[in-house]
Amino acid sequence: MADTIALEAPRDKGVGLVLASQTSVHSGAAVATLLFPLAGPAGVVAVRLVIGAALLLAACRPKLRGYRGRDWALIAGFGFVLALMNLLYYLAIERMPIGPVVTLEVLGPLTLSVLAGKGAARWLWALLALAGVALLGFGGLHGDGFDLIAAGLALAAGACWAGYILFSARTGSRFPKQDGIALALTVSALVALPLGVFGAGAALLDPVILGLGAAVAVLSSVLPYTLELAALRRLPTGTFAVLMSLGPAIAALTAFAIAGQALSVAEIVAIVLVVAASAGAVRSRAAAG
């Protein structure tokens, strides 16, 4: 009995860490929307990535020697995808509530899971996700929350998210600890900074923007990476992935709490369908593996 409790305690703590990570990252996005009128999406992305990269570099102090050209090419590709993913996502949440955007974005990793999976069940999860997206569009088209341009941006961000997963796996096998993500985030900051300066100019130096931008960087980058790394040490990969699939639901809740973004019943049902599809696809893939 005591042994069972001892084994369950680290796992329960791991679940809490994942939920805290998801709450943190989506809270950061909700705070970011408050900055859009001051600096625009590109400016907020630039501030977030620059501050996040600086904090991670200071914490990780990654080594720069001993790597080959292909390793640095991997970091460059990873950083570019990371910058593009964030920019597309922020452009999308400027136009549409965070919950539906994350619901569409998660189709990228979901598609990756379906294609990499085995068995007929994976296509059931794909159909369930499509039903959720169709309901999201149908419900939104009868209200004022759905935006076709935002939907396209969210789907493109989802494709980048799938690329992020692939790059992250390859980087993790070549760079120790969090060195890879710290270096990739630095590249993404260098990519995003000129766009931010072009879009917001001197406004990026405003103390309010820098202060809230630092909060977004901690909430959306530094804290989630730290919490997820700690969670992966306590949870099986499959359990971790299923918990991460709760992202759209957590995003909707945090956006409502922080930014007052309410959803229609149809949008809520759509989010539930996509969350169920994502969790099911991950579990099916784990079982097949």
Q: How far apart are CA 289 and CA 45, in angstroms?
A: 37
114-123: long-range contacts (C-beta < 8 A, 24 or more apart)?
114/281, 116/285, 117/281, 117/284, 117/285, 117/288, 118/285, 118/288, 119/284, 119/288, 121/280, 121/284, 122/281, 122/284, 122/285
Q: Do 212 and 35 meet the contact criterion of CB atoms below 8 Å apart?
A: yes
What is residue 128's predicted lDDT score, i.e. its pLDDT?
78
Is 32 within the bounds of a domain? yes
Q: How far apart are CA 123 and CA 145, in angstroms?
A: 29
Per-residue pLDDT band at 277 (split at 50, 70, 90): confident
Is 197 within the bounds of a domain? yes
Answer yes or no: is pLDDT of 238 > 70.
no
> In terms of C-beta density within 10 A (0-12 exposed, 13-18 middle, 19 or more buried), how is residue 232 classed?
middle
Task: Give every CB contact of residue 66 below 8 A, 6+ residues apart in sequence.
Answer: none
What is residue 4's predicted lDDT score, i.e. its pLDDT?
42
Is 139 within the bounds of a domain? yes
Measured distance between the N- and C-terminal CA atoms of the chain, rounded to whole angstroms? 31
Per-residue pLDDT band at 285 (split at 50, 70, 90): low
How many CB atoms lie under 10 A from the CB of residue 182?
A: 23
Q: Do 160 and 285 meet the contact criterion of CB atoms below 8 Å apart?
A: no
Answer yes or no: is pLDDT of 146 > 90.
no
Is 178 within the bounds of a domain? yes
What is residue 176's predicted lDDT score, i.e. its pLDDT?
83
Identify the domain containing residue 280 by its residue range: 13-288
Is 99 within the bounds of a domain? yes
Q: Which amino acid is at 101?
A: V
Q: Is the dihedral of CA 156, 157, 162, 168 positive or negative?
A: positive
pLDDT digits (tens, 9 = 90+) for 92-136: 999 988 888 888 888 887 777 677 666 667 777 778 777 877 777
Q: How far apart are CA 258 and CA 129, in angstroms?
A: 27
Per-residue pLDDT band at 179 (split at 50, 70, 90): confident
Number of domains in the chain: 1
Cα–Cα nearest to 155, from 117, 114, 112, 103: 103
Higher-confidence position of 2 and 112: 112
Is 5 within the bounds of a domain? no
What is residue 7's predicted lDDT score, i.e. its pLDDT?
39
Is 4 within the bounds of a domain? no
Q: What is the pTM of this model?
A: 0.84
Is 6 within the bounds of a domain? no
pLDDT digits (tens, 9 = 90+) for 209-235: 999 999 999 998 888 877 877 776 777
